[in-house]
Amino acid sequence: MSGVIGILGGMGPAATVDLYLKILKATPAETDQDHLRVIIDVNPKVPDRTRAILVGDVDPVPLMLETARNLERAGADFLLIPCNTAHYFYERIQQGISIPVVHMIREAAKTATEQFPTLSKVGLLATTGTVTTGLYQKAFSAYGVTVITPDPWMQEHLVMEAVYGKEGIKAGISDQRPVGKLRDAARSLVDEGAQLIVAGCTEVSLVRQKVEIAVPWLDPPEVLARVAVERALESYQRRQE
């Protein structure tokens, strides 16, 4: 049997579904039986990660760990977390379980620099929580790449409104209202020299294909899905040897 993928889901629910669909698309399968075993635990009651980081709200780690341990007990060989901001708590989650957790943000930076060897500046569209943590800044700096973000007004009134607003993506809206806000923010980063735009929030990933910009997008959940499939298939090959 190939390596069993565990998805620590619910942050948010739509992003969890999107990751699973990306895993299906990344799997070289001709029949149902060719697909990988994936165990998903969706716990939307995990407290908001951005609020925990910015204002010291309820710590999300206890529920994240509970979900991670459920997946480990269920037989997952490694875990995926389809939430960018949750990676701020990565070390605490990894220390609390005995199976590996794939670090989506580090994998995304690695993939971007492999695909675009001359990359020097990327634009980041992410929640204020993710921006504040410096997760992407640190990951890309390891490859000598600078990360730029929207100015404070755009971050609050375009990016955060597109994600969290009453007419935002977390509210189930994916039409021109949030898309237009993200487009304006992305284009401002391109004007500042960004050669690539990172969809650094899984809600941004959900609508990125509707956001027309003059440079490529990097979709971290898509990278995560590809890495997960490769890891699971490599596990299968090792067991066959």
Q: Which residues are marked as active site? A: 83, 201
Q: How far apart are CA 184 and CA 202, in angstroms?
A: 18
Q: Which residue has the tokens 């997960």?
A: 228
Which tokens is 56 given? 């010291």
Neighbour tally for 56: CB within 10 Å: 8
Reduced to 3 states, what is the DSSP secondary structure of residue 147?
A: strand
3-state percent breakdown (helix, strand, coil) of the chain, nearest 5? 55, 10, 30
Neighbour tally for 90: CB within 10 Å: 18
In Å, how far are 88, 109, 137 from 105, measured between CA atoms? 10, 6, 10
- The type of residue at 138 is K
Neighbour tally for 233: CB within 10 Å: 15
